[in-house]
């Protein structure tokens, strides 16, 4: 087993990274390994200048800044591991800074747009009840679409209206919900057997009676938002952005929102403060007598 494979096994089995994340690391590192091979370099013998030359090489290939930053981050993790395992004497990335990424403010829905979407599913139809449950879960909890698809029946506590979520890195957290989702969830659980082709313990089922996938949820959202008359592009992640923004707008503290979203670092959550700050700015400019 080579050093890269050892590192990938470390991520998967010791750090509990998802297979999807490990594959992303593998793809990033393979580009660097190929570059080293073409330049007669061994990954254990590269230095600071070699890394700088590699970054210049990525620029020439016209990689986007975000992709380059991710690729450098993957290498940084690899070389930290190699240094920790005494495979190298010096870490060639210690003084390397990643390309600066211009942060884009996440798009979110207004309360009026959310209401239009959430009120669109037909609650007299079994698929409509299922779809309403999907939409409510995404908005009231801010969970990732992958987390939604992986909710199992025994993760739900109907008594205290909470759900155990398995997030990135197999980290568990608890999310909460209110009376509206409580009614819809119980209604869905009553008719869930209509979707079942066999015993399956995942909460949300597809039309064919199996665990629903993320693509199917995207299709459901697209159909419902069109029916609701919303003409902007919406993804499952839009509901996550909307959840965080609405929570902060209503006075929730950043730490609480971080925990509910399952962000490992608070800095990831702070991007939503830009949205709430912009709202405050507009309110000030529109209301203060001396601001006009």
Catalytic residues: 144, 168, 237, 240, 263, 272
Helices in 142-178 by DSSP H: which ranges? 145-149
Residue 174's DSSP bridge partners are 164
Burial of 67 (0-12, 13-18, 19+ CB in 10 A): middle
DSSP summary character for residue 63: -
Query: Is residue 205 helix, strand or coil?
Result: strand
Cα dist from 162 to 22, 129, 151, 159, 264, whole Å: 30, 20, 12, 8, 21
Burial 268-287 (b: 16+ CB within 10 A, else e): ebeebeebbeeeeeeeeeee
Nearest to 232 by CA among 105, 137, 117, 103: 117
153: its two tokens: 């029946």
Contact 151, 212 (CB under 8 A): no
Give the separation between CA 2 and CA 12, rounded to whole angstroms: 16
């Amino acid at each position: 087993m080579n050093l890269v494979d050892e590192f990938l096994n470390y991520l998967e089995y010791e750090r509990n990274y998802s297979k999807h994340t490990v594959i992303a690391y593998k793809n990033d590192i393979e580009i660097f390994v190929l570059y080293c091979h073409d330049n007669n370099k061994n990954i254990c013998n590269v230095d600071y200048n070699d890394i700088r030359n590699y970054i210049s090489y990525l620029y020439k290939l016209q990689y986007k800044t975000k992709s380059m930053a991710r690729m450098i981050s993957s290498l940084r993790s690899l070389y930290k591991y190699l240094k920790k395992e005494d495979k190298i004497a010096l870490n060639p990335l210690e003084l390397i800074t990643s390309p600066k990424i211009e942060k884009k403010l996440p798009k979110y829905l207004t309360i009026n747009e959310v209401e239009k979407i959430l009120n669109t599913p037909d609650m007299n139809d079994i698929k409509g009840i299922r779809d309403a449950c999907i939409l409510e879960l995404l908005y009231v909890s801010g969970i990732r679409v992958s987390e939604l698809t992986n909710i199992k029946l025994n993760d739900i506590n109907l008594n205290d209206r909470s759900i155990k979520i398995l997030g990135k890195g197999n980290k568990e957290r608890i999310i909460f919900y209110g009376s509206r989702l409580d009614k819809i969830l119980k209604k869905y659980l009553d008719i869930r057997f209509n979707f079942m082709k066999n015993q399956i313990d995942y909460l949300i089922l597809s039309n064919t009676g199996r665990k629903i996938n993320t693509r199917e949820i995207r299709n459901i959202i697209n159909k419902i938002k069109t029916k609701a008359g919303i003409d902007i592009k919406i993804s499952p992640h839009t509901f996550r952005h909307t959840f965080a923004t609405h929570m902060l707008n209503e006075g929730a503290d950043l730490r609480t929102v971080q925990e509910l979203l399952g962000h490992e670092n608070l800095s990831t959550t702070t991007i939503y403060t830009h949205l709430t700050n912009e709202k405050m700015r507009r309110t000030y400019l529109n209301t203060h007598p001396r601001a006009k």
